[in-house]
Amino acid sequence: MTTNTKAYAAHSAKSPLAPFSFTRRDPLPNDVKIDILFCGVCHSDIHTARNEWGGTTTYPCVPGHEIVGRVVAAGRDVKKFKEGDLAAVGCMVDACLECLSCEENLEQFCEDVTFTYNSPDKVSGGHTFGGYSTSIVVKEDFVLRVNKDVDLAPTAPLLCAGITTYSPLRHHKIDKGMKVGVVGLGGLGHMGVKFAHAFGAEVTLFTTSPSKAADAKRFGADEIVISKDEDAMKAQALKFDFILDTVSAKHDIDAYLETLKRDGTLCLLGAPPEPIPLGAFSIIRWRHRLTGSLIGGIRETQEMLDYCAEHGITCDIEMIRMDQINDAYERMLKSDVKYRFVIDMASLK
């Protein structure tokens, strides 16, 4: 039953991703084996492949945590899935399921969480390999159901970009009439705009790319502010209840904190490798809050997938072949992405 899995891996921080193959474990009684059809390309894949987060990457590194596919085998104790079902896997593949965070369906905060790639693999040893591969074996509890009527490729990025923006907007109770800012229109940002709009907020996109304005409006933004325009930024002072910051590189968060109303909140989602400078008065003067958010739990991820299926929300994607991944990374680093690359895994089979 053990099969060779074809993949693409980074072998060092400086080398491009290249073909690689390895063996997935046979499904245990609670495991589901999935033939991967599509995998989204998250900026975290680039940070990890290039070892940008403080030397935390183990090589070879097979990134990918926006996975949609079809079940090809299910262990004997699996209840939710059978062969032939559609299924999805996001950023986590295991957790202790006993701690306080797990009990509250917040497995992402479990101290023992196993991320989909670059995490110690407690079952098979070594470290986990992600979705830039032809198949994956995952404990049933971490596999999501996919509605049979949705488009599969644009569903894949919901597994990270979708839940990472949905979760903080829900947690902070974003609702009709609130004024929400989204910083950066990439994979996360475009989903942030769509969800904030769907929840009834008045949405402003802050972008460095004037050419993205028309798309932002189509996604539900009411206003666009070009963040390089200092006067336009100053004109936003004290306007926002909540801001989602999705920027992947070093930037000036003081400029965004100053656009919050009294008691407004800026939530960091982006994870630039360098520390982010913070001016004390940006939070003292108007009792502003600075917080962050990490993906979302499994229950909430399923809720988000079901919400998207019901409301017709998907990602805007550009499909690529596996062998185009290194070019896709270069384009993302230039903010040239509309608005998520998705790998057609058939190109690797």
Residue 282's binding partner among Zn ion, ligand NAP, none (Cβ under 5 to 8 angstroms by kind) is none
- What's the CA gap between 243 and 169, in Å, rounded? 10
DSSP string, 74-123: E-TT--S--TT-EEEE-SEEE--S-SHHHHTT-GGG-TT-EESSSSB-TT
Question: In the set 32, 62, 160, 201, which binds Zn ion (CB under 5 A)?
Answer: 160
Contacts of 210 (CB under 8 A, 6+ apart): 226
Q: How many CA atoms lie within 13 A of 68 on its CB side?
A: 23
Residue 5 or 128: which CB sits closer to ligand NAP?
128
Question: In the set 269, 304, 315, 348, which binds ligand NAP (CB under 6 A)?
Answer: 269
Binding mask 201-240 for ligand NAP (x = CB under 6 A): ------xxx--x----------------------------
Residue 194 or 212: which CB sits closer to ligand NAP?
212
Which of 129, 3, 1 minimizes the C-alpha distance to 65?
129
Asked whether position 335 contacts ligand NAP by CB under 6 A, the answer is yes
Question: In the set 5, 44, 259, 265, which binds ligand NAP (CB under 6 A)?
Answer: 44
- What's the CA gap between 33 and 27, in Å, rounded? 6
Binding mask 40-59 for Zn ion (x = CB under 5 A): --x-x---------------
Q: How far is the CB of 272 from ligand NAP (least distance, A)?
A: 6
Residues belonging to the chain: 349
What 3-state DSSP class applies to 279? coil
Beta 202-207 vs 223-226: how paired, if at all? parallel
Residue 179's binding partner among ligand NAP, Zn ion, none (Cβ under 5 to 8 angstroms by kind) is none
Which residues are paired to 28 by β-bridges?
none
> What residue is closest to ligand NAP based on CB?
186
Amino acid (one-letter) located at 246: T
Asked whether position 251 contacts ligand NAP by CB under 6 A, the answer is yes
Contacts of 255 (CB under 8 A, 6+ apart): 227, 233
Residue with tokens 């805007």: 316
Interaction with ligand NAP in 148-187: which residues (CB under 6 A)?
Answer: 160-161, 164, 184-187
The token pair that represents 198 in the structure block = 């769907």
Q: Are 8 and 325 in contact (CB under 8 A)?
A: yes
Question: In the set 123, 214, 235, 249, which binds ligand NAP (CB under 6 A)?
Answer: 249
Residue 207's binding partner among ligand NAP, Zn ion, none (Cβ under 5 to 8 angstroms by kind) is ligand NAP
Asked whether position 270 contacts ligand NAP by CB under 6 A, the answer is yes
Q: How far is the CB of 270 from ligand NAP (least distance, A)?
A: 4
The token pair that represents 67 in the structure block = 């996975």
The token pair that represents 71 in the structure block = 């079940």
Residue 165 or 259: which CB sits closer to Zn ion?
165
Angle, CA 296 vertex, CA 81 and CA 203 arms, to 5° = 120
What 3-state DSSP class applies to 62? coil
Q: How far is the CB of 331 from ligand NAP (least distance, A)?
A: 9
Residue 106's binding partner among Zn ion, ligand NAP, none (Cβ under 5 to 8 angstroms by kind) is none
The window from 75-83, 126-134, 281-289, 290-298 that contacts ligand NAP (CB under 6 A) reads 290-298
Q: Tell me how many helices (H) and strands (E) the chain has.
A: 10, 17
Asked whether position 295 contacts ligand NAP by CB under 6 A, the answer is yes
The window from 34-42, 151-159, 219-227, 276-284 that contacts Zn ion (CB under 5 A) reads 34-42
Question: In the set 24, 33, 43, 172, which binds ligand NAP (CB under 6 A)?
Answer: 43
Q: Which residues bind Zn ion (CB under 5 A)?
A: 42, 44, 160
